[in-house]
Every structure is written in structure tokens, then in C-alpha cells.
Amino acid sequence: MSAVFMFDALREATDEEMQSDSSVFVLGEDVGHYGGSYKVTKDLHAKYGDLRVLDTPIAENSFMGMAIGAAITGLRPIVEGMNMSFLLLAFNQISNNAGMLRYTSGGNFKIPIVIRGPGGVGRQLGAEHSQRLEAYFQAIPGLKIVACSTPYNAKGLLKSAIRDNNPVILFEHVLLYNLKEELPNIEYFLPLDKAEMVRKGHDVTIVTYSRMRHHVMEAVQTLLKEGYDPEVVDLISLKPIDIDCINKSLMKTHKLIIVEECMKTGGIAAEIIAQVNDSLFDQLDAPIVRLSSHDIPTPYNGTLEKATVINPQQIIASVRRLMIT
């Protein structure tokens, strides 16, 4: 076991897969000599050369299209978005091309592409750099979407994503890159379609993902002292949602809180609520609680920015209210 930062875990995954498969390559803005905006590709250009760690112009639609074309020919591109917000400029390529070409080609083409990079609300990055795009992409057929929350699952998910023959979007939170954790010294892979049971409990199911996992676990420490016993599920997979894991938990707790950094309207929580209502409504002892960010552009002002995102105290208060209903 060795302790590594999340950005190093992602780098290790990329390095290992590039070493084992010559068809794997990285492209994006400043991924080469600069080493990536958060150093996920640091020094890889020196090891693999400038054509396998390819610096691109600031033209997301162009290099996304190029990566999809490369995937069609049998290569396995990893596209790093300097900030995931910029990928809106490549939305057409991701939706109409990456998501649909395997179907529209009658199965003649596979699209083994990974799209990854930093997103979420950082610290005063401004509205255009604080986007949470998971709900934007969730509606696109043909994509797999995962969100890492720890160095361990970041590495295992990226390695699995690179080997998958379908387009995978990996969301990394900009404030988790310096999270440190011990990782196994042996190779491992994690499934792209399964949630993680973070903590077993009996009173209430709390479903979350990405950075909010850590806010939830901070809240849990207080809740345990107050005698509550919450069960915590980290979604990991945002498309498809592991509804079976949520259902199994609800069969035990019969109460559900969803905590997300995504916007409330049309967010990931909204989809979970719809699926739970479809299949397990009779198991609910109380209405589902949805804790989401405000439906506004993220303010630059630090105090206002903090107020838009769910915090541990709000989670604690929601559990208290739910447990007396």
C-alpha cells in the first residue's frame, strides 16, 4: 500500500494503460509539456512522446471530433478537458458522434474514448468555470458516466474506462485532486455501473456522489453521536444509475435523502426520484428529500458561492427532520 494524491492516482492509471496498450493516447489543452492543468499527465510526454501525449489548440469541438475519429480507427483516446465546462463547446461531437455512432453504424464502429477532467464548484472560479455538467450529458444515449470521489475509485474507474469499448465520461471534482489515500500496489479495476456502499446503517439512506460524499461523511460523524444510524451510498455510476443498490437500501431504511452538487432542476437527484417512484414508491415511509445546489450561476463572491452548495449542517438538519416524520 502506498499513499497517493488523487491526481497521482489518475496519472498512475493513465501511465499503466499507456504502457500496456500502445493504442492508448492522451490529448487536450496543455496535457503535454505543462503536464495538464492539475498535473494528471505530468512527465508523460517525456516517456511516451508528443504524439501520444498530444497538446491541442483551444478548440474543443475540433479535438473532440479528432479523438472520436481516432477511436473509430481502433485507437483509445483519453481526452482531458482543462475544465469540464468547456466541453459544452464539444456537445455536438459528444452527443451526435460519440454517443450515437456505434448505433448509427449498425455496430460497425466501436467508440472506445474516455473524456475526463476537472469540474464542480471550486473556490471562486466564477460561473463559467463552476459548471456541473453531469445532468447535461446524462440524457445522451450511448454514454457511460462515472464520478470519482476518492483516489482509490479514481484509479480503478479510469483504468476500466480506458478498456471499455464505449464512450465514458469521468467527472473529477476540482477540489478533490489533493485528497490522499493509500492504494494497493497490485493492479485493480472497478466496475463502471455499480454504486459503492460507503457505510451500512438502518435509519435512513443517503445517496450522494463526488465531493458531496465527503460532506455526507462529515455530517454522519455528528449524526452518529446523536444516535442516528444512516446508510451512505456513493453512486459512482451516474449513467446507468445503480438503482438496484438504492432499492436494496430502501427496503431496509424506507427513507431517502439525495445529496448532490448538481442543480436541482433536472439534476441527477431528479432522475433517482423518478426511478424510485417507479419501482419502490410503496416502500417509502416519507417523501424523498432532495438537497441540491441552487438554480443560479455560481457566484464569484466566496460567501455567496459557499451558500449555493449543500453543506454538512444542512444534511444533519434534513436527517433530524426526516427521522421525526
Confidence of residue 279 (pLDDT cuts 50, 70, 90): confident
Same domain, 32 and 140: yes
> Catalytic: which of 60, 134, 231, 305?
60
The C-alpha cell of 228 is what?
442516528
Return the CATH number at 228.
3.40.50.920
Task: Give catalytic status of residue 60 as yes or no.
Answer: yes
Same domain, 12 and 49: yes
- Single out the residue in 183, 205, 226 at which a domain terminates: 183
Inside any domain, residue 191 = no
Same domain, 261 and 298: yes
Same domain, 263 and 131: no
> Catalytic: which of 17, 29, 80, 129?
129
- Single out the residue in 146, 162, 183 at which a domain terminates: 183
Same domain, 134 and 215: no
Say what the pLDDT of residue 141 is. 94
Q: How buried is 314 (Cβ within 10 angstroms: 0-12 exposed, 13-18 middle, 19+ buried)?
A: middle
Inside any domain, residue 59 = yes
- Average pLDDT of the residues in 240-258: 96
Inside any domain, residue 49 = yes
For the stretch 187-215, pLDDT in tens is 999 999 999 999 999 999 999 999 999 99
Same domain, 21 and 157: yes
Q: Which domain holds residue 157?
A: 2-183
Inside any domain, residue 278 = yes
- Single out the residue in 130, 156, 183 at which a domain terminates: 183
**Average pLDDT along the chain:** 95
Inside any domain, residue 188 = no
Same domain, 178 and 210: no
Q: Domains in the chain: how many in total?
A: 2
Same domain, 92 and 224: no
The backbone region for 109, taken as left when phi is positive above 0, alpha when psi lies in -120 to 50, beta otherwise, is beta
Return the CATH number at 76.
3.40.50.970
Task: Give catalytic status of residue 294 as yes or no.
Answer: no
Same domain, 161 and 237: no
Confidence of residue 128 (pLDDT cuts 50, 70, 90): confident
* pLDDT value at 325 more than 80: no
Q: Exposure pattern of 168-184 as b/e (b: 16+ CB <10 Å)? A: bbbbbbbebbebebebe
